[in-house]
Amino acid sequence: MQCVVLAAGEGKRMRPLTAQRPKVMLPVANRPMMEHLVLAARDAGITDFVFVVGYGAREVRGHFGEGKRFGIHITYAPQRQQSGTADALRSAQDLISGPFLAMNGDMILTSADITRMIQMPAPCIGTSTTDHPGDFGVVLVENERVIALEEKSKHPNSNIINAGAYLFSQEIFDLLAQVRPSSRGELELTDALGVLITRKGLKAVSLSSWMDIGYPWDLLDANAALLAGISSANSGIIEEGVHLSGPVIIGKDTVVKSGTYIEGPCIIGNNCRIGPHTYIRGATSIGDECHIGHCTELKNSVVMAKTKIPHFNYVGDSVIGSGCNFGAGTKIANLRHDHAPIRIGGKNTRHTKFGAVVGDNVNFGINCSVNVGSVIGSNAQFAPNSYVEGSFGENSTIR
């Protein structure tokens, strides 16, 4: 069995986090989200992969290489222009022989679900359920057979959604060749699926676990879910007077200084400096070469590599890019006074606690205050005592 992973898109809904990397390379529990998916497929018995790459292909190739360190073999299929999912899958045609699994690279599945799916006869589609189906393409199912697909709608007729995982035979490539541009100007995989449905030949496979990562706040949900399954491991240096509670992973050459209190689940990367007197609360991931310093508190956040949050800072329920620097006393709010769900750009995050999305290489002066739901583009600069609220583009300068 071969596996095609669709990883060519930028992930514009993830901006500003995708300014320097493709969406599939955003970290969850200190690994690119696509790595979790690939390892699950490997554990299901698949060792032959085709990655369809486009935007940020260099980052994907640089991390995965030929797959040797993961115990798999990877071939790359470039998608020259992002012209839709049908075009992406068609890019891999010359590298595929026989039935194959195809998956979107921006989700996380379990190896058990993948194992069950590849044991089914092709073609079939993985489905999941959600309490907000209006955000997804909906699947209508009757006796485990797909009878219709619906595009995103304010009034969907089902809570069953397309999970972005498929088992195909070679027949799919004949159907993809017949697909014509949609009203969006893209070649849509769903048009080929529609032909299979009319032939009454597409079966639905209900997945027991599915995490879609479409927006920055979804990173926090996925991060918390994956950290919930970790076990403690320490490859660093823990000074006397440090208290660890619950499962905590500490990377190689990381130093945790005296007076620090860490509540798991938490993962800290390599070559970090933590403390003294730092408080790190559960469901937090800290990337390599970070500095989290004196009297700083982190909670339920993703902090990417080489970011410094050194003195008297608070960061809660936030996603922080790489290479950022927080001036002393800078804090991110994460709760409205009325406890209403946080909205970003008019979009309901469905989180009553959510702080900010901070791009790469953002610098805050001392005593900056960042309000809930703020989105800050990469390379932004904020003067001391700045009040930050709303959205700021890349290279913004607030004096």
DSSP 231-286: --EE-SEE-TT-EEES-EEE-TT-EE-TT-EEESSEEE-SS-EE-SS-EE-SSEEE
Instruction: Please name which of 283, 281, 309, 282 lies closest in space to residue 294, comparing C-alpha atoms.
Output: 309
Q: Return the pLDDT at 241.
A: 95
d(CA 394, CA 156): 36
d(CA 381, CA 203): 52
Q: Return the pLDDT at 82.
A: 77
Q: Return the pLDDT at 354.
A: 96
d(CA 216, CA 357): 7
Q: Return the pLDDT at 14.
A: 93
Q: Return the pLDDT at 194.
A: 87
Q: Return the pLDDT at 239.
A: 96
Mean pLDDT by 10 residues, the chain (399 residues): 92 91 95 96 96 93 94 93 86 92 94 94 90 83 86 81 91 88 79 86 90 92 94 95 96 97 96 97 96 97 97 97 97 95 91 96 97 96 96 92
Q: Return the pLDDT at 139.
A: 87
Structural contact between residues 373 and 336, judged by C-beta atoms closer than 8 angstroms: no
337 assigned to active site: no
The one-letter amino acid code at 157 reads: N
Q: Return the pLDDT at 216.
A: 94
Q: Return the pLDDT at 268.
A: 98
Choose the catalytic residue: 311, 337, 339, 351: 311
Q: Return the pLDDT at 110.
A: 94
3-class DSSP assignment, residue 379: coil
Q: Return the pLDDT at 12.
A: 87
Q: Please name every residue paired with 303 in a beta bridge, in sequence order, or none if there are none.
A: 286, 320
C-alpha separations of 33 from 22, 108, 253 in Å: 11, 7, 24
